[in-house]
Chain A
Amino acid sequence: MTDEPDATDRAILNALQEGFPISPRPFAEAATALGITESELIERLRSLRERRLITRFGPFYDAAAMGGAFCLCAMAVPDADFERAVEQVNTHPEVAHNYARDHALNMWFVLACEAESDIARVARQIEDDCGLPVLLFPKLKEFFVRFRVAA
């Protein structure tokens, strides 16, 4: 089987980005709308997953609703210190992800902590470890997005 999605695969990817039922036979319901059978939909989803054309299928949870506190942080790290800083920052388990970006603020990471009060504490530890200021960019307001990938 080719890795390229065919027309039915694309229809599935487009339709199931919009949503999936929470009901006893959700695949049967979704398949009817697509004009295919329940078993074909399941098989195709399995194949799409194996071919890595879908990264996730299931409920998307609001990270904050699940409990915990999050904060986007940035640092301006001198080039010569960069690799050392990567290690010092990443060693903290609270650092969920970390990206190098092309800006004077060249390191951007997200802290994921149990409680709001942990954010400032971990940020201060990172400042001490690296000897560099950590700027905090907490979310003040989140705007609803309807990001979709046309398959």
Chain B
Amino acid sequence: MRLDTTDRALIEATQAGLPLVPAPYSDIAARLGMSEAEVIARMQAMQARGVIRRVAVAPNHYALGMRANGMSVWDVDDSTAEALGPRVGALDYVSHCYLRPRARPVWPYNLFAMIHGATRAQVEEKRAEIAALLGADCAQNDILYSTRILKKTGLRLRQKPRADQQPDPYPAPQPEQG
């Protein structure tokens, strides 16, 4: 996934969001001294390559009532983990789903899935659903709730602060890009 300097300029110009004007890509093109057609073609190409996952709205799920979340972790048999992972990721309340190395003896878990719900009780119900889905292929599981945000900075191409970007006031989870 090679990005040239023009792609990177486009990423930098759009990573804080699209302008709310009728022709937003034309607006970005004007800022960068490019044509609208080139901006559209390059962004479509980046989306096709997976550099852009999607262009979309991120609702404030905290304000919409999804106020609880937990990092559920699962000790899944290595021979089936890669087949089961996509089924956990496909659940609409799971926002991140990764296979990671274990660190025995303190950490026997290899599948990580961030679960969201209105309440902690709802998160626990969903955890039970995942446990049922994994069945005998999962030897044990746990869930870690965050008790405090100690630091939160976005993952951005450059660290320079932008005037149009405000810190997120809600404890919205995005804890595992790693």
Across the interface, do A138 and B94 meet the contact criterion of CB distance under 8 Å? Answer: no
Q: How far is the CA of A112 from the CA of B53 in the complex (A)?
A: 19
B residues apposed to A, CB below 8 Å: 1, 3, 11, 14-18, 20-26, 36, 40, 43-44, 46-47, 49-61, 63-64, 66, 71, 82, 85-86, 88-90, 92-101, 103, 106-107, 112, 116, 142, 144-155, 157, 159, 168-170, 172, 174-178
A residues apposed to B, CB below 8 Å: 3, 5, 12-13, 16-28, 38-39, 42, 45-46, 49, 52-63, 65-68, 70-74, 76, 86, 89-90, 93, 95-105, 107-112, 135-149, 151
Q: How far is the CA of A16 from the CA of B58 in the complex (A)?
A: 8
Q: How far is the CA of A101 from the CA of B73 in the complex (A)?
A: 13
Set of chain B residues within 8 Å of A142, measured between Cβ atoms? 97-99
Across the interface, do A22 and B85 meet the contact criterion of CB distance under 8 Å? Answer: no
Smallest CB gap from A41: residue in B = B20
Smallest CB gap from A51: residue in B = B63
Across the interface, do A60 and B52 meet the contact criterion of CB distance under 8 Å? Answer: yes
Q: How far is the CA of A18 from the CA of B142 in the complex (A)?
A: 31
Give the interface centre of A63, A70, A76, A141 by most chain B CB atoms within 10 Å: A141
Across the interface, do A141 and B98 meet the contact criterion of CB distance under 8 Å? Answer: yes
Q: How far is the CA of A52 from the CA of B174 in the complex (A)?
A: 17
Set of chain A residues within 8 Å of B148, measured between Cβ atoms? 99-100
Across the interface, do A137 and B3 meet the contact criterion of CB distance under 8 Å? Answer: no
Smallest CB gap from B111: residue in A = A143
Across the interface, do B177 and A24 meet the contact criterion of CB distance under 8 Å? Answer: no
